[in-house]
């Protein structure tokens, strides 16, 4: 339904997992470097997602035959 949000959530989960693993202290140097790189790029991608996001607002009504009809809603925010 909302791919950007799903990606954001997955990135945050993975990021926290990485930080926990690294802080646990039993990761070898080479693996730590790999995790560090992955973690840093996740931080950047999450930041980018938030920066570039724009709230999408629509209005839902029941159309003919009951299927949902969705139109943009302009609410002069």
Q: What is the contact surface with another protein in residues (CB under 8 A)?
A: 1-2, 4-6, 8-9, 12, 15-16, 18-19, 22-23, 27, 29, 32-33, 36, 39-40, 43, 46-47, 49-50, 53-62, 67-68, 70, 73, 75-77
Q: In this structure, are residues 15 and 46 in contact, taking their beta carbons and an 8 Å threshold?
A: yes
At closest approach, how far in Å is the CB of 11 from another protein? 10
At closest approach, how far in Å is the CB of 20 from another protein? 9
Helices 3-24 and 29-52 cross at an angle (nearest 10°) of 150
Tokens of 37: 């790189």
Identify the bridge partners of residue 68 per DSSP, sorted by sequence position.
Answer: 62
- Distance in angstroms (rounded) separating the CA atoms of residues 11 and 17: 10
Judged by beta carbon, residue 61 or residue 64, the one nearer another protein is: 61
């Amino acid at each position: 339904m909302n791919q950007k949000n799903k990606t954001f959530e997955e990135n945050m989960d993975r990021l926290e997992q990485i930080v926990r693993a690294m802080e646990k202290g039993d990761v070898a140097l080479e693996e730590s470097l790999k995790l560090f790189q992955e973690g840093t790029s996740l931080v950047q991608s999450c930041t980018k997602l938030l920066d570039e996001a724009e709230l999408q607002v629509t209005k839902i009504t029941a159309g003919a035959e009951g299927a949902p009809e969705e139109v943009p809603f302009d609410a002069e925010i």
